[in-house]
Amino acid sequence: MKLVIVTVVEQFQKDVLKLFKKANIENFSSSEIDGYKNGSSLFMASNWFSAEKGVNESSMFYSFTEDKNIEVLFNLITEFNSNLETNNPIKAVVVPILKFI
């Protein structure tokens, strides 16, 4: 069993849900997050309106699941990202679980 974590911009949230379903990952959690890109706009503290620049409404999905499901999910994400016309690909990482109860 491993932990898979997927982050995505708001416009692709429904796509991630479909990918999870295709990968047989039926149990997962999600959280709304703000995504930031490092850039000069984040360091313009003198103008408080600039804090809105560089922020993307995003989601994080995570699930404890089996290796075979993760392999399918990663293949689906790779295929999805290869067809994107934006610079906001779905990102995913896998974290091994050393112990669980």
Q: Which amino acid is it at 80? A: F
Q: Is residue 101 part of a domain?
A: no
Q: What are phi and psi of 2, to 5 degrees?
A: -135, 165
pLDDT tens profile 55-99: 778 999 999 999 999 999 999 999 999 999 888 899 999 998 888
Q: Can you give the residue range of the structural domain that contains 19?
A: 2-96
For residue 19, what is the domain's CATH number? 3.30.70.120
Q: How many independent structural domains does the chain possess?
A: 1
Q: Are 6 and 62 in contact (CB under 8 A)?
A: yes
Using the structure block, give the residue that is written with the tokens 């295929």: 79
Q: Is residue 24 part of a domain?
A: yes
CA-nearest of 59, 37, 41 to 50 is 41
Prediction pTM value: 0.80
